């Protein structure tokens, strides 16, 4: 996959274009989406790097520091539980239609699920992003007019209580710690055991800084390499239904 040279290039691309918080976020999404593929052609599939080295490079990003001054919760956390949004999109024609409205009735908790190894499962829980518009909406605006995310798009504001128990991933080291504390081994890699994580936490929050440092990177750990994550945008993976209110705010 990607190595530290790729990560250095990623940070340089992020910092290449000054702007304001709105255009900075769109620029971040655009750059990160270029690192969603298999990595550099011809390179071995599993180039393993140190999480501390990756975090040190991400900490140098002027773009992230600029956004953090305005909206620190999406760059470094903690999660703003009262400012989450969920967007319902259409589905490709070969898949059944999804739910238009977030509801506990349709929510599948992760703690009782038998999941295949995955860095980012989609068959359980729910993903939200912070704010309206959120980074996920920015992603849709940039890439969403495709067969993967057909319109209509419905944006819901969802509110969680302040005592929600969230694991904050603000960098590569925190991702590695989560996986190594709750590991599943598959094909020579360590994956997160989401069912075990769900028995301890309500949700996992992935920040922009963590995405900058970890997107597409395999990391070294004492018990073996940790799988590369692909999160794309600041998001929270809800393992349990903890919402106290939902409201349709945009369609």
Q: How many CB atoms lie within 10 A of CB 166?
A: 20
pTM listed for this prediction = 0.93
Per residue in 52-70, pLDDT tens? Answer: 999 999 999 999 999 999 9
pLDDT at 46: 78
Q: How many CB atoms lie within 10 A of CB 60?
A: 13
Domain boundary assignment for the chain: 4-250
Which segments of the chain have a pLDDT < 70? 18-22, 38-45, 92-97, 145-146
pLDDT at 147: 73
The CA distance from 180 to 226, in Å, is 8
Structure tokens at 69: 């001054």
Question: DSSP letters of 22-54?
Answer: HHHHHHHHHHHHTTSSS-STTS-S--EE-HHHH
* Burial of 203 per CB tally in 10 Å (0-12, 13-18, 19+): buried
């Amino acid at each position: 996959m990607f190595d530290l040279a790729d990560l250095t290039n990623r940070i340089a691309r992020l910092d290449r274009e000054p702007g304001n918080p709105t255009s900075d976020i769109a620029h971040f999404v655009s750059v990160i989406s270029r690192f969603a593929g298999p990595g550099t052609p011809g390179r071995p599939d599993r180039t393993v790097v140190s999480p501390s080295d990756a975090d040190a490079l991400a900490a140098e990003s002027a773009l992230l520091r600029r956004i953090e001054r305005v909206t620190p919760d999406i760059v470094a956390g903690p999660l703003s539980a009262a400012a989450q949004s969920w967007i319902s999109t259409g589905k490709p024609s070969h898949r059944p239609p999804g739910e238009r409205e977030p509801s506990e009735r349709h929510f599948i908790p992760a703690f009782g699920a038998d999941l295949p190894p995955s860095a980012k499962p989609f068959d359980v829980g729910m993903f939200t992003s912070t704010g309206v518009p959120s980074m996920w909406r920015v992603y849709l605006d940039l890439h969403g007019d495709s067969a993967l995310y057909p319109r209509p798009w419905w944006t819901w504001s969802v509110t969680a209580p302040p005592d929600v128990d969230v694991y904050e991933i603000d960098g590569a080291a925190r991702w590695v710690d989560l996986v190594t504390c709750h590991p599943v081994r598959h094909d020579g890699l360590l994956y997160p055991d989401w069912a075990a994580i769900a028995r301890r936490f309500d949700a996992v929050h992935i920040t922009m800084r963590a995405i900058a440092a970890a997107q597409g990177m395999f990391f070294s750990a004492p018990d073996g390499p940790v799988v590369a994550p692909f999160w794309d945008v600041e998001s929270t993976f809800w393992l349990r239904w903890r919402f106290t209110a939902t409201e349709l705010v945009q369609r």
